[in-house]
Amino acid sequence: MNIQIKQYCHITSSRVFLRGKRLFKSAYQYPEMNDFLSEIYTFLGIDYRKFFKMDALSKAGFLASEILLQSFDREQTKEDMGILLFNQSGSIEADRAYQETIQDKDNYFPSPAVFVYTLPNIVAGEIAIRNKIHGETSFFVLPQLQYTTIEDTVKGVFCNSDLKYLLTGWVEVEDDELDVRMMLCAPGDGGRINIKAATIEKIYKK
């Protein structure tokens, strides 16, 4: 089965790229991560108030999905679309934020609003809710960015399901650094890009 990359985007700590071309650049040379994510939100003209309650990992993945799924009707249920994401640090940013609320027994204020994001797969759930995606959703934490693992896992998902679309890729947020490499994939032949480890690495090196 041939799997094609239909669209792909890359979000760094100050820029957003779509199909290798710059889509947006921060107004600041070294923006704070959450400020930059809010800049992207405003640039894209999104109206989704729940965004501001999300942790940075969910915001980053959410924004990449907004870019890649612009041509889809968000109100239409998508039984044939799934989400498969990867990173190295899991939900470490939310974990640290929650740890701060329980660290001091004299200033103990555990926050359910923070705790809910202490699982990395929450970003997949946020995207699924926003877009009514009812297919498989998974999140894998890897020792490092491994394009071969991404290729093999994506192919395995398509070979063992009836999905027509898969939103997949790397969503890493740690220490005020962003690295989101997300793709929209689908089975097919023709003038699109085949999902191969070397190809994925190449498109994100442009």
CATH number among 3.40.47.10, 3.30.910.10, 1.10.510.10, 3.30.365.10, domain 3-203? 3.40.47.10
Band (pLDDT 50/70/90 cuts) for residue 190 is low
DSSP 91-151: THHHHHHHHHHHS-TTS----HHHHTTSSTTHHHHHHHHHHTB-S-EEEEE-SS--HHHHH
Alpha carbons 76 and 148: distance in angstroms, whole number: 33
Within 10 A of 66 (CB to CB), how many other CB atoms are there?
21
Q: What is the pLDDT of residues 157-166, one digit of tens each?
A: 999 999 999 9
Alpha carbons 88 and 86: distance in angstroms, whole number: 7
Q: Say whether 76 sits in a helix, a strand or coil.
A: coil
Q: Tell me the domain boundaries of the chain.
A: 3-203
- How many residues in the chain? 206
Mean pLDDT of the chain: 93
Within 10 A of 178 (CB to CB), how many other CB atoms are there?
26
* This prediction's pTM: 0.92
Write down the pLDDT at residue 143.
96
Residue 206 reports pLDDT greater than 60? no
Alpha carbons 168 and 84: distance in angstroms, whole number: 5
Average pLDDT of span 26-44 = 95
